[in-house]
Amino acid sequence: MVLFAAMLAFGHNASALSVGDSHELGFMWPGIPVGNQNNTNYVNHMIGMALGATDIANGQIYFRSNNTFGSLPSAVWALNGTGTTINLGAGGIYTYLFASYAGLGAEVWYIGDLHGVITIPGIFNLCGLTKWTLFGPAGVGVPDGGVTAMLLGAALGALGMARRFLKR
C-alpha cells in the first residue's frame, strides 16, 4: 500500500495555468485565423519579440509577457485538442501551449518545464476556450504510434528465424 501511495504522489505534476501567470509567453488578438501553420507562425513570432513588447504582424496584435525563459527554441506543431485538461506526459516533448478563446484571441504559455496533467482556463474574459495546440521544440519530433517498435520486433524475429535455418 505504501508503494501504491508513493506512485500516486509522484505520478503526476498537476499544474493549473492561468492568464498572466509565470508561464505566460504572451497574448495575441484577434487570434484568427487559426490552423496548424498559422498558430506555428504566431508562436514563433512571439518567441522573437522583446520582453514586454507589443507588435503588429501577420494581421495580429501581439503582447509579449515580461517572463524570461532563457533561450527559446522555435515552435513545431505537435498536437491539437479541446477541453481544459491536458496530459503532457513525462515532459520534454512539448514546449508551448497555444489556447484559442472565441471572440477574444489566444493565450500562449511556455510549458517546457512542466509534465503530467495540467489545466487551462475554460473561460477568459467571458469568452470560451475553442481549442488548444501543443508545440514541441524544433528538431524534436513527437513520438510515433509504435510503428518503430513493430518494425524492430519484425526485424529481430526475421533475424532469429534466419539464424535458426542457417544453423542447420
Strand ranges for 73-126 from DSSP E = 75-81, 85-87, 96-101, 105-110, 117-119, 123-124
pLDDT tens digits, 111-145:
999 999 999 999 988 899 999 999 998 754 444 45
Rg, C-alpha atoms of the chain: 21
Host H or E run for residue 157: helix 147-167
Percent of the chain having pLDDT more than 70?
A: 82
What's the confidence (pLDDT) of residue 100? Answer: 94
pTM for this predicted structure: 0.74
65 Cβ contact list (under 8 Å, min separation 6): 20, 24, 25, 26, 27, 51, 52
